[in-house]
Structure 1
Amino acid sequence: MRLIASIAYSLLTLILMAGVGAVLLAFAPNSPLPAEWNPTKSLNVTDPITPITQFKLQRALADGPSCYTALATGARFDSLSDLITSPQCGIADRVSLSRIGSASLRPVETRCQTALRLAMWFEHGIEPAAKQHFSQSISQIQHSSSYSCRQIRSTNGSTGRMSTHATADSIDISGVTLSDGRKLTLLSGWPSGDARAPFFRDLRNSACTWFRVTLGPDYNSLHADHFHLQHTGWGLCR
């Protein structure tokens, strides 16, 4: 028993020493840790994914200045003053987003947090899927809206509850354009029998990694032509 206890104590000591060493290494002025592995470094959209990426993302999403800094590593945007149109509608940490990575998009006013999640999805979901399925890059992202002061819609009509679009905590993506000019829309691509269907399903699945709520054609008929992507929510992926 004493031998087992001694071994356990030694292992615990080694683990604690390794943990302390890792912390000291991360905070060292000239730390050799790659930025994507260093928890003291800010999120960079283009960095490879590691086990601490989500920690960095949550830290970047926590306030406007941190979000702007992270978003600038993977997107082109203008920061705008907050918009307040009513007690229920407006945009905090407002940006006008015009480009993500290699892809342009019709300038859209949204929350920085929504834009940052979109940038992460593009870099680590959309672009890799396009290269996998079509050996192409993405030149444009099609969207239908982000901010809209309205209630949630359902197949039975209005629900009486405000939509997350009312605070730009969501954005609707309807398709993409490949670098060769081909335009792929969710409406025609999702039910197709060619490479568009698995491509769009890969997009839906990867969106669930970066957004708190992802709704598409499998959710209901109102989403037949777009992905509803939400910064806030409880992890719904349909």
Structure 2
Amino acid sequence: MSKQSGRRRFLLSAASFAFRVAVVVILFGGGGWFLLAHPETPVPSHWNPLRELKVTAPITPITRFQLNRALADESQCRATLAEAGVSFAAMDDLIESENCGIPGRGLLSRLTSAGVNAVETSCTTALRLTMWEYHVVQPAAQEHLGTRVNQLRHVGSYNCRQMRTTQGETSAWSSHAKADAIDIVGVRLDDGRSLTLLSDWQAAGPEGAFLRQIWRGACDWFRVVLGPDFNHLHADHFHLQGPGWGYCR
């Protein structure tokens, strides 16, 4: 992870902490709770910790709080996706074994504006992917490529298997075994161009800059992000994983 990205994440964390302290002061200062909870509160929803997450709202220090609450509540997760226009058709939970299955299962076929080949995944993965697409991928495409992303290309989310390393398979279970991750291999743009990590990651022009920016930006929405610079097993895709201690490489 770059120094600039690390500094940005530190500043966001510090701002989030300061905001939480300020909210506590307001709530215990008298009248604060009423101000936030009132249906006609003047506090914008993206600044109000009592309001639900909206994908398209501006990012503030409490967005993380709202996101974590949606990730912890399946009904709220699904409602947030529906409000954003995401196509995530509900399916019964998949239970294959103690280690394999998909809680909060659905069929994801479209994000806020980019399509995806229909994929079974968890609501939490779909929500993280949606936040990344809206707040990172589309702005980066406009900035570097002058167009929008028409489709995110992936090679799946759910796979009942153990982790793979450069030394071989381990005894630990992969995050894919619970659909807690998705692997992105490239994008198709509105102007017809297609970019892949295998072909364009090392590109010196705007295509390479775009891919590197969306890799860095994924670290704001997923806790584990692995790309071509991690090892040869990830030479052709981003591994975007929800659970984890925080690792971006």
Q: Same fold (TM over 0.5)?
A: yes
Which protein is bigger by CA-based radius of gyration?
1
1:29, distance to aligned residue in structure 2 (A): 2.1
2:39 paired residue among 16, 26, 29: 29
TM-score, normalised with respect to structure 2: 0.87
- Same amino acid, percent of matched pairs: 52
Write out per-residue CA displacement over residues 168-211 of structure 1, whole angstroms, 9 at most, x where no aligned residue: 00000111111111111111111112111111111111100000
Letter in 1 for 2:39: P
Asked if the contact 1:93–1:111 (Cα under 8 Å) also holds between the matched residues in 2, the reply is yes
Partner of 2:18: none
Contact 2:26 2:32 survives alignment (8 Å): no
Displacement of 1:16? 5.4
> Equivalences for 1:163-178 in 2 at 5 Å?
163-178=174-189
Deviations 1:41-96 (A, max 9, x none): 11111111011100000000002111111122331110111001112100000011
**Cα distance change on mapping 1:21 and 1:132 into 2, 3 Å:** farther
Alignment match, 1:226: 237
User: Could you tell me which residue of structure 2 aligns to residue 123 of structure 1?
Assistant: 134
Q: Matched residues in 2 for 1:122 and 1:77: separation?
A: 15
Residue aligning to 1:66: 76
Distance 1:219 1:47 in 2: 32
CA RMSD of aligned residues (A): 1.4
Q: Unaligned 5+ residue runs, structure 1?
A: 1-14
Match of 1:46 in 2: 56
Residue identity matched to 1:206: G
Inter-partner Cα distance in structure 1 for 2:116 and 2:45: 29
| TM-score (norm: length of structure 1) | 0.90
Contact 1:46 1:73 in 2 (8 A): no
Amino acid at match of 1:232: P
Corresponding letter in the other structure for 1:199: F
Distance 2:155 2:136 in 1: 20
Of 58, 65, 74, the match for 1:55: 65
Distance 2:230 2:236 in 1: 11
**Once the 2 structures are TM-superposed, how far is the Cα of residue 22 of structure 1 from its aligned partner?**
4.0
Q: How many residues align?
A: 224
Give the Cα–Cα distance (whole angstroms) in 2 for the partners of residues 224 and 19 of structure 1: 54
Aligned to 1:152: 163
* Conserved? CA contact 2:145–2:207, under 8 Å: no
Q: Distance in 1 between matches of 2:32 and 2:200?
A: 47
Tell me what 2:104 maps to: 93
1:202 to 199, 204, 213: 213
Distance in 1 between the 2:218 and 2:27 partners? 38
2:226 pairs with 1:215: yes
